Homo-oligomer: A and B are copies of this chain.
């Protein structure tokens, strides 16, 4: 299977579509606030796969994983049961051992949650930061190409 069926990369903009189910909601009738981090992780994983540089390959060939170092979530409007959401993933900054992404959860053109997340490349062996390998650097630059030009 080549990537997730609802995952597309177009002009440096990655879009991941998902549905909300009972598992995602809480007794307030809305999506439980922590679950947007799960949606964001799914979108990042598929973004890397769609860019041709799966996260699992970075672990297998370089002994590195991306770990979440810092997150900021801004909740603008709630999602509810049985809605179609899109997570748009865009790069904010790329450094030697870390990358910062903006992931926006949207419903029909409306922004629901804006997530700014900093990921650090960490060596599985000793938990210390490592340089992001060239193939992943280039892919992450490609991810933002459309936005920077436009």
A residues bordering B, Cβ < 8 Å? Answer: 1, 4-6, 17, 19, 21-23, 25-30, 32-35, 37-38, 41-42, 45-46, 54-56, 65, 67-75, 78, 80-82, 84, 127
Contacts and interface: CB of A to CB of B under 8 A. Distances in A.
Q: Is the interface of A mostly helix, strand, loop or mixed?
A: mixed
Closest 6 CB pairs of A and B: A25-B27, A5-B5, A34-B37, A5-B6, A1-B84, A33-B68
B22 A26 contact: yes
Contacts of A28: 22, 65, 67
A123 to B, nearest CB: 12
B5 A17 contact: yes
B68 A71 contact: no
A32 B23 contact: yes
Contacts of A42: 19, 21, 23
Nearest to A115: B71
A114 to B, nearest CB: 10
A130 B32 CA distance: 21
A30 to B, nearest CB: 8
